[in-house]
Structure 1
Amino acid sequence: MLLRHIPFLKAVLMYACTAFGGPQVHMAMMIRTFSQKRKDVTEEEILEYNAFCQILPGPSSSQTVFLIAYRRGGVPLALLTLLIWILPATLIMTLLSFLLLYLDSNTLQTQLFRFMQPMALGFIAYAAIKMMNKSVKHPATWGIMIGSALVTIFIKSPWVFPLIILSAGFISNFSDKRIPGQNPTSFKVNWDVLWVFVGVFLVAGFLSEWARIEHWQHRRIFNLFENFYRFGSIVFGGGQALIPMMLYQFVTRRQHLAQTPLLTQSQLMTGYGMLQAVPGPVFSICTFVGGIAMSSEGPLWQILGCVTATVGIFLPSTLMMLFLFPLYQSLKNYVIIYRSIEGINAAIVGMVWASGLILFRSPSANVEIVNIVIAGITFCILQFTKIPAPFIVMGWILLGWVTSL
C-alpha cells in the first residue's frame, strides 16, 4: 500500500534536505511543496494543521508534516514520513557530536567554531523578536511575556515550564472578547493512545529512578530517555525553548548537586549554533546532546544516546497527535482552548528571551565586546537581509578559521 506513496515520500525527503531556517521558513516551504506543487492538501488545511500543533507541546513543523501524511495515508504513512523528515538532521547532528569529541573539541571551539556561541545568541534574539511581533500585542500579553521571562530566569526547576504555560493560558481566559466562530460538536474519545503515552511516561520515570538508586552500570541511558521524553511532553515554543531546559537539566542542576555536567555550556551552544546550518527540525539538537552525554561510555553508547534522545523527544508529541487530532474539529471550538492560545504564545516568547539572558549572564559565558558585536551583526543580518541561515553560519565558521591562521 505504501508503494503508491513513493512520489510523496521522495518529496518529503527533498523537503527534509532543503528545509533550512526554522519553523517559519518550514511553513512556507510546506505550502509550496505539498499544496501548490503536489496538491496533497490545500493551503487552508496546512494552516489549520499548524494552528492545531501550536496548542501541543513538541516540534510544530514535524507535527504538521506528520498530519499532512496522516491525512493522505493514515498512521503508517505518517510514521514513515516523520522518520524521513527527521533523518537527515539527526544524522548530521550525530556526526557533529563525534566531530566535537574526536577532532579536538577545544581547538574547534576556540578556533573553527569560536564565534558559534555569540552567533547563536543573535539567532535566539531574532527568533524572540519575530515571535513577539506576532504574539505580544497588548498590555496583558506584555505582562505575561515579562512574567514568564522573569520566572524562567529566577526559578531553577524544569517543572516551571509547564506551570508557566498553564498559568498563561489561565490568565488569558479572563478576557471574554475572543470567541470561536462555531459551536463544539460531540466526539468519541479513543483512550488507547493516551494510556500508551501515560504508561511510557510512568515506566520511563520508574526505570530512571530505579537505575539511579541501584547504580546500574549504564543507568545514564535510562535517565536520558526520561529527561527527553519529559521535555517532549511539556516543551512549547520549538527548539529555542529547549535550550534553557537542557541547560538546567544537564549543566546547572548537576553543578548544584556537585556532579559532573553531562556536557558543557560551550558544547551546547556550539551544537545550537551549528544547528542553524542543518536542514530539518530544530529539535534535532537533542540528538547532539544525547550523543555528547553518552560519549564517555564509548562510541556505540554515544550512538545509542543519539537514538535514545531522538526517540524520547519526538515520541510524546506523536502519541498526543494520534490521540487529539481526531478530536480537533471539536476541541478547537471550545472557548477555553481558543482563548488560552494567546497567553501561551506570549509566555513562549518570554521563555525564549530568558534562554538568551541565562546564557549571556552565566558565569562561564565569555562576555567580551567582540562577542556582543558578533551577536548584534548576526541579528542585523537576519533582520534586514535575505541571506539564508546556512550561509550566515558558514560565514562565521570561515571567519573563525581565517582568524586562527
Structure 2
Amino acid sequence: MFSIFRIFFGLGCLSFGGPAAHIGYFRTAFVEKLKWLSEKEYAQLVALSQFLPGPASSQVGFALSYKKGGLGGALAAFLGFTLPSVVLMLALAIVAQQINDSSYFQNVVHGLKLLAVVVVADATWGMFKNFCTSKLTTFLCFITAASLLLAPSVSTQLYVLVFSALIGGFYLSSSTIASKQESRSNKLISSLFPLAIFGFLLLVLPLFSLNAKFSVFNDFFQAGSLVFGGGHVALPLLQNIVGEQLSQNSFLTGYAAAQAVPGPMFSFATYLGYELLPSSPFAGALLATVAIFLPGFLLILAAMPHWQTLSNNTKLAGVMNGVNASVVGLLLSALYTPISTSAIHSPVDIVFILALLFLFKTVKLPIGWIVCMVLLSSYVAIVT
C-alpha cells in the first residue's frame, strides 16, 4: 500500500490541469510506464468514471488502485493523490487575501493551463490511435466531440455515451477472453454494501442540516452526488451552495487556485469548507473534502464488479468498443474547452505550447522538470 501511496503522491504533486489532464498523466504512468493494466482496461475505467457522478480522474485512480491493491490500495491512492492539493488549498484559505492580486500567481495559473493543453493533447492522440481504428469508431469519436462542443452539458455527455454504446453493441462486437469472475452472490454483496451507504447518507444527512457541521457535510455530499465529469462542472453547483456566505472575489480566487495547484480540482472543497465554518475552519475543510469525494467512490465500488462482467462478456464487447471511441471524443472536446479556450490568448501562448510539446515528446523531459520551467518562466515574465 505504501508503494501505491508513494506513486500517487508523486502524481498528486505534478498532475496539473484538471480531470482531462489527469487522465493523461495516469495513462502515461500506469499504462505506458508501470503497465499495471492494458490500454483497453484503462479506457474501460475512464468510461465507467464518465457514467457515474463524482470526480472523474480521482475515480479512475481509485478504481485502478482498487484492482491493484484492493480497498486499502484504493484509499492509499486517494490519500496520496489528494493530499498535496488539499494542503495547498488549506494554505491558500489561510492567506487568501494576500495572494489574490499577485501577478506571479496569475502567471503561474496561465503557464500551468498551457502545460495542460500539451498533456491532454498527448493523451487524446494516444487513445485515438488505439481506439479509433475504423471509420465507425472515428465517427463515434467525432460525433461525441462535435455534440459536446455545440451543446455542452451533462445530459449531452450521457446521450452520446449511450448512443455510442448502442452503435457499438450492434456493429462493433468482437471476441474477448472472459476473465475469471467472482460468484454472483459475492458480486451482489460487494455492490449492495457501498450502494446502501450512499443511499443512507443521501437520505439521512438532510435531516441533520440544522447542525453547522452536518450541514457542511450534507451540502458537499449532495454536490459530489450530482456532478458528472470533474471539477469544472462542479463550479456552478458549488457557487449555489456557497450563496452569499462567501464573497464572489474570494470564491473566484479559490477556484483559480484550484486550477493552479496539482491534483483533483474537487480539493476546491477544502478551501470552501474552511471559509464556510469559521468557528471550526479546519474541521470544515476536512468535512467538505471527505464529503465531496465520498459519493463518487461509493458508486464506483458498487459499479465495478458489474462493469467488469460487461467488459468481459463477448456479446457486449462491441458496447465497450463504442464507449471507448466516445471517451476519446470527450477528451477531444475537453482539449478545446475548457482547456485551450481558457489557456490560449495570443500567438505567444501557441509558441509556448509548441516548446513544451517539444520538451515533453521529443526531448522526453520529465514532467516535474517541465513544471519547474513553467514556474521559472512565470517569474521571469514578472521581472522583465
TM-score, normalization by structure 1: 0.71
Q: Which residue of structure 2 aligns with residue 355 of structure 1?
A: 334
Deviation of 1:203 (Å) = 4.8
Deviation of 1:132 (Å) = 1.4
Q: Which residue of structure 1 aligns with residue 18 of structure 2?
A: none
Q: 2:234 aligns with which of 243, 246, 258?
A: 246
What code does the residue aligned with 2:220 have? L
Q: Tell whether the 8 Å contact from 2:27 to 2:42 is kept in structure 1 after alignment.
A: no
Q: Which residue of structure 2 aligns with residue 382 of structure 1?
A: 360
Q: Which residue of structure 2 aligns with residue 25 of structure 1?
A: 29
Q: Tell whether the 8 Å contact from 1:207 to 1:222 is kept in structure 2 after alignment.
A: no
Deviation of 1:307 (Å) = 2.4
Deviation of 1:104 (Å) = 0.9
Q: Which residue of structure 2 aligns with residue 318 of structure 1?
A: 301
Inter-partner Cα distance in structure 2 for 1:121 and 1:253 = 30
Q: Tell whether the 8 Å contact from 1:243 to 1:355 is kept in structure 2 after alignment.
A: no
Q: Which residue of structure 2 aligns with residue 144 of structure 1?
A: 140
Change over 3 Å in CA distance of 1:49–1:361 after alignment to 2: closer
What code does the residue aligned with 2:164 have? A
Tell me whether 1:91 sits opposite 2:74 in the alignment.
Answer: no
Tell me whether 1:120 sits opposite 2:124 in the alignment.
Answer: no
Deviation of 1:357 (Å) = 1.9
What code does the residue aligned with 1:313 have? G
Deviation of 1:380 (Å) = 3.4
Inter-partner Cα distance in structure 2 for 1:136 and 1:251 = 38
Q: 1:192 aligns with which of 181, 189, 193?
A: 189
Q: Which residue of structure 2 aligns with residue 173 of structure 1?
A: 169
For residues 140-193 of structure 1, the C-alpha deviation after alignment (integer angstroms, 9 at most, x for no partner) is 112111211122223343233333222211111222652335699995244334
What code does the residue aligned with 1:310 have? F
Q: Tell whether the 8 Å contact from 2:356 to 2:370 is kept in structure 1 after alignment.
A: yes
Report which of the two has the higher share of helix. 2
What code does the residue aligned with 1:339 have? G
Q: Secondary structure at the match of 2:170?
A: coil
Q: Tell whether the 8 Å contact from 2:194 to 2:302 is kept in structure 1 after alignment.
A: yes
Q: Which residue of structure 1 aligns with residue 65 of structure 2?
A: 65
Q: 2:324 aligns with which of 345, 348, 352?
A: 345
Change over 3 Å in CA distance of 1:54–1:367 after alignment to 2: closer
What code does the residue aligned with 1:334 have? N
Q: Secondary structure at the match of 2:101?
A: helix
What code does the residue aligned with 1:318 have? L
Tell me whether 1:106 sits opposite 2:88 in the alignment.
Answer: no
Deviation of 1:396 (Å) = 0.4
Inter-partner Cα distance in structure 2 for 1:376 and 1:209 = 50
Change over 3 Å in CA distance of 1:176–1:132 after alignment to 2: closer
Inter-partner Cα distance in structure 1 for 2:220 and 2:110 = 28
Change over 3 Å in CA distance of 1:139–1:245 after alignment to 2: farther
Q: Tell whether the 8 Å contact from 2:108 to 2:260 is kept in structure 1 after alignment.
A: no
Bigger mean CA offset, 337-346 vs 266-275: 266-275
Q: Tell whether the 8 Å contact from 1:262 to 1:293 is kept in structure 2 after alignment.
A: no
What code does the residue aligned with 2:101 have? N
For residues 282-306 of structure 1, the C-alpha deviation after alignment (integer angstroms, 9 at most, x for no partner) is 6x332x2222343431432233222
Aligned length: 351
For residues 261-302 of structure 1, the C-alpha deviation after alignment (integer angstroms, 9 at most, x for no partner) is 9954x8656544542xxxxxx6x332x222234343143223
What code does the residue aligned with 2:224 have? F
Q: Tell whether the 8 Å contact from 1:94 to 1:303 is kept in structure 2 after alignment.
A: no
Inter-partner Cα distance in structure 2 for 1:296 and 1:171 = 47
Change over 3 Å in CA distance of 1:318–1:203 after alignment to 2: same
Q: 2:154 aligns with which of 154, 158, 168?
A: 158
Map 1:363-374 → 2, pairs under 5 A: 367-374=345-352
Q: Which residue of structure 1 aligns with residue 289 of structure 2?
A: 306
| Aligned residues: CA RMSD | 4.0
Change over 3 Å in CA distance of 1:385–1:312 after alignment to 2: farther
Q: Which residue of structure 2 aligns with residue 400 of structure 1?
A: 378
For residues 302-344 of structure 1, the C-alpha deviation after alignment (integer angstroms, 9 at most, x for no partner) is 33222223333333223333x438xx4x544423431112111
Q: Tell whether the 8 Å contact from 2:231 to 2:265 is kept in structure 1 after alignment.
A: no
What code does the residue aligned with 2:379 have? W
Provide the identity percentage: 13
Q: Secondary structure at the match of 1:159?
A: helix
